[in-house]
Amino acid sequence: MATAHTRTLSRLMIAPSVVMLLAWMAIPLAMTIYFSFQRYNLLNPSRRRFAGWFNYEFFVTDPAFFAALTNTLVLVGGVLVITIVGGILFALLLDQPIFGQGIVRILFISPFFIMPTVSALIWKNMMMNPVFGIFANIAKSLGLQPIDWFASVPLLSIIIIVAWQWLPFATLILLTALQSLDSEQRDAAEMDGAKPVALFFYITLPHMSRAITVVVLIETIFLLSIFAEILVTTNGGPGVASTNLTFLIYARALLQFDVGGAAAGGIIAVILANIVAIFLIRMIGKNLEA
């Protein structure tokens, strides 16, 4: 397959992609690093000068940063736990013989295709509104005090919305993994006298472990950058109660026009994401070999 001729062509054909992605990754990132060492505010662009580590210091010592970091981790962690546990249960359920399986699958999968702004607004208004929302009505009919979701538990509210969006993804992937489980293996274990619970922990769960890792890592990458759901529901508030790192940087950059500060925050976000990315690359790399 490989002659010198095809090899040259092949380099030429891969070049545009490489150049584009390199430009996309390297140039803006370099600029972000550069800006992060500048004192630079768009409201006052003439007073731009070198700032040393000031932006980083300022960003990190801001109490909002610590809150945003915690919120980011709670958001990612909370959604992961809900989607993984829920996804495993749902996958096990959907793997059973069910009448109308195709339609049930569609019901389960649908939230994944809803754009973030729409799902956030449906939940904010029609589900979680403290007066007219479905939850409020249920609470009232049970004689309970309705919860004002976004005022009293803003981060939890966002976790619920995001988990609802990502549960289908986890379910779909885990179900696919489950269905690829060799039924002979299960039969053999059953012949050996394994009870359903033992069967799950010794056969099914190990088989799904790779899919679970994939779900965790891919979701993590997207969840670190949750933005629209916060923007259209709480706007990060009250205070910074539902501000994550992405939203904090957005607010610095496009609301306060503090380019330097936002850039420093961006670099911190990149470092955080890289720690996650290293694991992901390792894992996918292994899969390539397998």
Partner 1 sequence: MARAMGLRRRIGFTFLAWGIGLIVFFPIFWMLLTSFKTEGDAIASPPLLFYAATIENYLEVLARSNYFKHFMNSVIIAGGSTILALIVAIPAAWSMAFSPTKQTKNILMWMLSTKMLPPVGVLVPIYLLFLQWGLLDTKFGLTIILMLINLPIVIWMLYTYFKEIPGEILEASRMDGAVLWKEIIYVLLPMAVPGIASTMLLNVILAWNEAFWTLNLTAANAAPLTAFIAAFSSPEGLFWAKLSAASTMAIAPILILGWFSQRQLVRGLTFGAVK
Partner 2 sequence: MGSIRLESVRKVFGDAEVIPGVDLKINDGEFIVFVGPSGCGKSTLLRLIAGLEDLTGGKVLIDDKDVTGNAPAKRRLAMVFQSYALYPHMSVFNNIAFPLKMAEMEKTAIDKKVRDAADTLNLTDYLHRKPGQLSGGQRQRVAIGRAIVREPVAFLFDEPLSNLDAALRVNMRHEISQLHHQLNTTMIYVTHDQVEAMTLADRIVVLNEGRVEQFGSPLQLYQKPSNRFVAGFIGSPMMNFIEGPTAAEHDAHTIGVRPEHIIVSKKKGTWSGVVTIAEHLGADTFLRVECGAIGTITARASGEFTVGYGDTVFLTPDSKKTYRFDKNGRTIGHRPQQADTTGNQKTP
Of these partners, partner 1, partner 2, none, which one is at the site of residue 98 (CB under 5 to 8 Å by kind)? partner 1
Q: Which of residues 4-33 bind partner 2 (CB under 8 A)?
A: 4-5
Of these partners, partner 2, partner 1, none, which one is at the site of residue 150 (CB under 5 to 8 Å by kind)? none
Q: For residues 194 and 272, which CB has a smaller minimum distance to partner 1 in the complex?
A: 272
The residue range among 53-61, 62-70, 119-127, 191-199 that interacts with partner 1, by the rule CB under 8 A, is 119-127
Alpha helices in the chain (DSSP H): 4-36, 54-61, 63-94, 101-109, 116-121, 134-141, 149-152, 154-179, 183-191, 196-199, 205-223, 228-233, 245-250, 259-289
Of these partners, partner 1, partner 2, none, which one is at the site of residue 160 (CB under 5 to 8 Å by kind)? none
Q: Does position 152 bind partner 1 by CB under 8 A?
A: no
Torsion angle in degrees (nearest 10) through CA of 276, 249, 227, 33: -50
| Euclidean distance between CA atoms 220 and 37, whole angstroms | 29
Encoding tokens for residue 19?
């150049």
Q: Which residue has the tokens 């994944």?
A: 112
- Cα dihedral sign, 138-142-148-150: negative
Task: Encode 160-187: b = buried (16+ Cβ within 10 Å), e = exposed.
Answer: bbbbbbbbbbbbbbbbebbeeeeeeeee
| Euclidean distance between CA atoms 105 and 189, whole angstroms | 28
Q: Which of 2, 12, 131, 290 binds partner 2 (CB under 8 A)?
A: 2
Quote the distance between the C-alpha of residue 45 and its chain's center. 35
Q: What's the min distance (Å) between Cβ of 198 and partner 1?
A: 19
Q: For residues 108 and 149, which CB has a smaller minimum distance to partner 1 in the complex?
A: 108
Q: Does position 85 bind partner 1 by CB under 8 A?
A: no
Q: For residues 61 and 96, which CB has a smaller minimum distance to partner 1 in the complex?
A: 96
DSSP state of 49: E
Q: Are strands 38-39 and 49-50 parallel, antiparallel or unpaired?
A: antiparallel
Contact pattern from residue 45 through residue 84 relative to partner 1, giving x for each residue in contact according to CB under 8 A and a dash for the rest: ----------------------------------------
Identify any residues that bridge with 49 across adjacent strands, giving them in sequence order: 39
Q: What's the min distance (Å) between Cβ of 208 and partner 2?
A: 35
The residue range among 47-55, 183-191, 196-204, 220-228 that interacts with partner 1, by the rule CB under 8 A, is 220-228
Going by C-alpha positions, the residue among 209, 208, 254 that lies closest to residue 227 is 254
How many residues at the interface with partner 2, by CB under 8 A? 5
Q: What's the min distance (Å) between Cβ of 52 and partner 2?
A: 51
| Euclidean distance between CA atoms 231 and 254, whole angstroms | 13
The residue range among 3-11, 20-28, 32-40, 65-73 that interacts with partner 2, by the rule CB under 8 A, is 3-11
Q: For residues 203 and 264, which CB has a smaller minimum distance to partner 1 in the complex?
A: 264
Q: For residues 3 and 141, which CB has a smaller minimum distance to partner 2 in the complex?
A: 3
Q: What's the min distance (Å) between Cβ of 9 and partner 2?
A: 11
Q: Does position 205 bind partner 1 by CB under 8 A?
A: no
- Applying CB under 8 A, the residues found at the interface with partner 2 are 1-5
